[in-house]
Chains A and B, each alone.
Chain A
Amino acid sequence: MSRLNRLAISEEGFIFDPETGNSFTVNKTGLFIINMLKEGKDVEDIVEALTEEFEVDREEAMRDVTDFLEQLRFMGLIDKTEDDNV
């Protein structure tokens, strides 16, 4: 199972990794992005969806997504395969 898919994610943005025991919190935007990643969406899809869902332009959305993915990589929540896909 991919790392993202094994995560237990609450509606409030509390995330628990059952393998490592680590927990994180994310804001509404982070939760939105994680859920899209779990659905297998790529960066383009996510940026598009963010501009539709939130009051944000494409450039800012792209920057936020890139930053957030970097955070997920840093925390070991995206493995190599997912990394390649996004």
Chain B
Amino acid sequence: MCKVAVSGINAVDNPGPGLGVIKGIKDKYEKTAIVGLAYDAMEPGVYMDWLIDKVYIMPYPSEGEEPFINRLLYIKETAGLDAAIPTLDAELPLFIANSDKLKNCGIATFLPTKEQFKLRSKDKVSELAEDIGLKVPESFTVVSYEDLTSAINEIGFPVMIKGIFYKAYKAFNYQEATSYFNKIVSEWGYPVIVQKVVSGEEMNVVGVGDGEGSHFGMVGIKKLWVTSLGKIWTGVTVKHEKMLEAAEIFVEKYKWRGAFELECIVSGDDVYLIEINPRFPAWVYFSVGVGINLPARLLDAALGKEPDRTSDYEAGKLYIRFTDDFVTDMGTFQKIVTRGER
């Protein structure tokens, strides 16, 4: 029986992709044992023992590479891991930098390379979008208040203020723009991206690149309903030719390896590329539900098996997220808090 570690089991209002990944794997490989990697004792996945067999609290990636990797190796020793599927942005650089080391220790991954990971930086998106036939909203890379003001004068309000890797805020006036600029700089440093707000419909593509220019399936969706945090709550599968073609060119041209999500805004015949995520999105179970089990295919690829490559899904399938609840006793919480594992 195979054992797979999956992170992002924080199934809260801003959910991680972990549970969707786990459900996908379990759909295909019912007997796979799942090890949940959590960062907090309160993450709901910690308590979902019908999906996750063992749970370990991980050190935050910001604590450094050594404690993080040592913890993974400890889990390998105690739980016997075969593969790991990281799903959170902040931990990806650590997994990518140590993928060979993990492989040598018997933990398989299927991740983008360091160079591919860098493509997601928002100052590179313009170039990449052009390469794959998409547009990007007018944007400026700024490092000072002076740059910020001149970029805003050029673009006009409202404007998006974005960190180069994380965070994006919509500002409607100079005060808001300056406050978001300061917030991003204090948290993530320079530079900051100032971008025109493009109105249109939000469409995304999720897929898994094979690292050789092809892919193990992809699915296009349109967001129908999002939460106040911008997280998808209801969506529908679409076959938007231009967007899917761009995603094909993306994996071909950059030989993308591993999971990815392209976030686009479609306005009439124009498709704008907003962001590239080098991981599965939280709604990845949608792909499983329409017959393209991307998490299981990624696991197959990590374990050296040839995954299915079909992308034959039906447009018009609906995705509905819902909240649920259950009651348990304090035992698990105590274990997690005192031992860091359950």
Contact = CB atoms under 8 A, between A and B. Distances in A.
B238 A19 contact: yes
B239 A19 contact: yes
Contact of B240 (A16, A19, A76): A19
A21 B268 contact: no
Nearest to A8: B316
Contacts of A20: 201, 222, 238, 240, 266
Contacts of B224: 21
Nearest to B238: A21
B31 to A, nearest CB: 36
A16 B236 CA distance: 10
Which interface class (under 10, 10 to 19, 20 to 34, 35 or more) fits B? 10 to 19
B324 interface: no
Contacts of B315: 8, 16, 18-19, 21
Which interface class (under 10, 10 to 19, 20 to 34, 35 or more) fits A? under 10
Report whether over half of chain B's contact residues are helix, strand or loop; otherwise say mixed.
Answer: strand
B115 to A, nearest CB: 33
A21 B224 CA distance: 9
Interface in A13-31: 16, 18-21
Contacts of A16: 315-316
A8 B317 CA distance: 12
Contacts of B236: 21
Contacts of A19: 238-241, 315
A64 B201 CA distance: 30
Interface in B203-221: 203, 221
A21 B236 CA distance: 6
Interface in B227-246: 236-241
Nearest to A21: B222
A19 B224 CA distance: 14
A76 B268 CA distance: 8
A18 B316 contact: yes
Nearest to B223: A21
Interface string A36-54: 0000000000000000000
21 contacts: A8-B315, A16-B315, A18-B239, A18-B315, A18-B316, A19-B238, A19-B240, A19-B241, A19-B315, A20-B201, A20-B240, A20-B266, A21-B201, A21-B203, A21-B221, A21-B224, A21-B236, A21-B237, A21-B238, A21-B240, A76-B268
Given A8-B315, A20-B240, A21-B222, 13 more contacts: A8-B316, A16-B315, A18-B238, A18-B315, A18-B316, A19-B240, A20-B201, A20-B238, A21-B203, A21-B224, A21-B236, A21-B237, A76-B268
Query: Closest 6 interchain pairs by CB?
Result: A18-B315, A21-B222, A21-B238, A21-B236, A16-B316, A18-B239
